[in-house]
Amino acid sequence: MRIKRLLFFCICVSILLTLFILFPPLKTRSSSSSSYSSPPLRQYPARFAYLISLSKGDVNQAKRLVYAIYHPGNHYLLHLDAEASDGEHEDLTQFIAVESVFREVGNVWIVKKSNIVTYRGPTMLANTLHAMAMLLKACDWDWFVNLSAADYPIITQDDLIYAFAALPKDLNFVHHTSHLGWKRNKRAKPIVIDPGLYSDNKSDVMWLPMQRSLPTSFKLFTGSAWTVLSRSFAEYCVWGWENLPRTLLLYFTNFISTPEGYFQTVICNSKLFKNTTVNHDLRYITWDNPPKQHPLPLGLKDYRRMIISSSPFARKFKEGDLVLDRIDKEILKRNPNNAFTYGGWCGGRIGRVCRGGNLRNSYGMLKPGPGGRRLRALLRKITLPSSLRKQQCR
């Protein structure tokens, strides 16, 4: 009887989570209600919507990340875990509120009603889908990027926009594989319950004393939890005009490390989107062998390999690591003292601290550098038709 009650509870939680995702509350705390009163004369050829997920103790690291990836042509949504203290929430709110550039452009928001997020449970996926829904309703963008406070860019945003400008806007960068290996028994078969779905007290997932067989109505895929997703695919996952995203949401509600499987399985089982996948997460990450739950921290010894990888982002960094200072100085052309990354929107002059500039006159201008050329070469290589066909949803 105890096992039957647990199964019934799992089903109920799954249905409630689905309703939460499909009908999310769209309340945000904005940096400002103001924005440009008239459309700029020049538009950027590619636009990005960022979700930056923060845990307790991440606020200072997140401030540095926001300055490093900020660009007036993009949009930014920050979520600070409900476990964080009231002081941390207030600190983050003040940071967004007092920055004059954020107030002028109005493209940086904070999720007002934060959620408990468990990394290995479905609450992380729920938070990501909720953020997608908010950004879809709030603004126009071409690609969705999820980051944590431990991430950092290794190219400028002008480089990123320049490189993506040459791509079809339906491409999705999702690292994936159907070769489950050790994940068959460690990820796919166990059944877990995430207390973050029903409790205000954060704790690890609960393991049920049973296992399930692999699904037969769809093929299971796993991969990196870090993605770059097209707007069209984000709409498909959030609005769910077909039953597949909802069905898989129910399945992954009780799946260990849900973010490593949901988007991979949805896109590779969708006839509409499976041919839009690029098998790359656009991150430089180093792992133990065999890989553990979290990647190895990056340091100065990894700097050259990061650059050679041509990836736009890298993880995982410790707060204040010296390699971040080197990235700021040599790649982003910024100093750590609350300055933005070098770019055409703030004057684009190397050696001058970027604090904003005349946004009306410089909006739409790009000043890409070597990072943009490296990334464009990487994108050209991994999106060749012959390369795509060999790696898509295998």
Contacts (Cβ under 8 Å, ≥6 apart) of 44: 73, 161, 364, 366
Residue pair 348/25 in contact (Cβ under 8 Å)? The answer is no
Structural domain that includes position 142: 2-391
CA atoms within 13 A on the CB side of 272: 14
One-letter amino acid for residue 195 of the chain: P
**Number of compact structural domains in the chain:** 1
DSSP letter string, 17-31? HHHHHHS----EEES
Residue recorded with tokens 């600190």: 91
Q: What is the CA 277 to chain-centroid distance, rounded?
A: 16
Q: What is the DSSP letter of 230?
A: E
Q: What is the CA 343 to chain-centroid distance, rounded?
A: 22
Q: Strand runs (DSSP E) across 268-347, as ranges?
A: 277-278, 283-284, 313-315
Q: How many CB atoms lie within 10 A of CB 44?
A: 24
pTM value is 0.89
Residue pair 235/130 in contact (Cβ under 8 Å)? The answer is no
Residue pair 110/28 in contact (Cβ under 8 Å)? The answer is yes
Query: Residue 352 and residue 235: Cα distance in Å, rounded?
Result: 40
One-letter amino acid for residue 351 of the chain: G
Residue recorded with tokens 């997703």: 229
pLDDT 10s digit of each residue in the chain, 394 long? 554 454 544 545 454 444 444 434 434 444 433 343 444 447 899 999 999 999 999 999 999 999 999 999 999 999 999 999 999 999 999 999 999 899 989 999 999 999 999 878 899 999 999 999 999 999 999 999 999 999 999 999 999 999 999 999 999 999 999 998 888 888 889 888 888 888 888 888 888 888 999 999 999 999 999 999 999 999 999 998 899 999 999 999 989 889 999 999 999 999 999 999 999 999 999 987 766 677 889 999 999 999 999 999 999 999 999 999 999 999 999 876 768 998 888 865 554 567 655 677 788 889 999 999 999 999 999 999 988 888 899 8
Nearest CA to 372 out of 211, 162, 72, 81 is that of 162
Q: How many CB atoms lie within 10 A of CB 12?
A: 11
